[in-house]
Amino acid sequence: MNLLIIQAHIGSTRLPGKIMKNICGKEVLLHVYERCVKAKEVNKIIIATSKNTKDDQIEKFCKKHNIECFRGSESDVLDRYYECAKRYNPDYIVRVTSDCPLLEPKLIDYWIKNAVKDNIDFVEEEKELFIGFGLDIFSYNALERMKNRASENKQKEHVVGYYYDNKNEFKHNKYLLEDELKYLYRPYRLTLDTIEDFNLIKAIYEKFYENDYVELNKVMNFLDTDKSMLNINNNVCQKNYFRE
């Protein structure tokens, strides 16, 4: 059983309330959820938010759209994942961040299939992937180990921080993308952290949103030939676990 957990919260230092902003008539969070639904290897999807009253809005959103919601620790997101996942005892967990409304469900399927085939703890991401692919895939056993061994606040806040700091303790593997997925190897920034990011993603959705979906390969092909749209957010600095 493969469980996908979307972590979501209203607070954001650079763009508060970003996941509830409207694009093409839907909240960003709903776009993220609907893209996750298209992943065929996923058996269950849950939105995991905090117990902070600010995040009551997310629970109401989930009830409105008939999406399962879990509420846990605000600061210890690793614990939130663990407490959520242990209810279902999944084989693998897909961690999705709610600020990536252009994530690729085909990548989720590709990584899950390989992780199951090789019985690994973690799928190692490739640095060549575009910024905003928005996911990690790891085994439930790996989640338990991270939960039991993480001691630093940073490791608990970032869910997979302990893994980044101690990769030698986990069986991990990288999977080169098949030809039909190589459009994901791009230097483009398609994540949502700032108003500039929002303006770019909104522009992309308004141009490519058809039949309730944005085909990411079409977006990449367009940006390859016309990079002017990328000027909208080309000055935004990307945060990461090692540089904050």
- Per-residue model confidence as pLDDT tens for the chain (244 residues): 999 999 999 988 789 899 999 999 999 999 999 999 999 999 999 999 999 999 999 999 999 999 999 999 999 999 999 999 999 999 999 999 999 999 999 999 999 999 999 999 999 999 999 999 999 999 999 999 999 999 999 999 999 999 999 999 999 999 999 999 999 999 999 999 999 999 999 999 999 999 999 999 999 999 999 999 999 998 887 666 444 4
Please give the Cα distance from 126 to 186 (Å, whole number). Answer: 11
Rounded to whole angstroms, the Cα distance separating 105 from 35 reads 6
Phi/psi class of residue 37: alpha, beta or left (left: φ > 0; alpha: ψ in -120 to 50)? alpha
Domains of the chain: 2-232 (3.90.550.10)
Q: What tokens does 134 get? A: 């928005």
Cβ of 143: how many Cβ atoms within 10 Å?
A: 25
Q: Which of 149, 137, 147 is nearest to 83 (CA)?
A: 147
Burial of 218 (0-12, 13-18, 19+ CB in 10 A): middle
Q: What is the pTM of this model?
A: 0.96
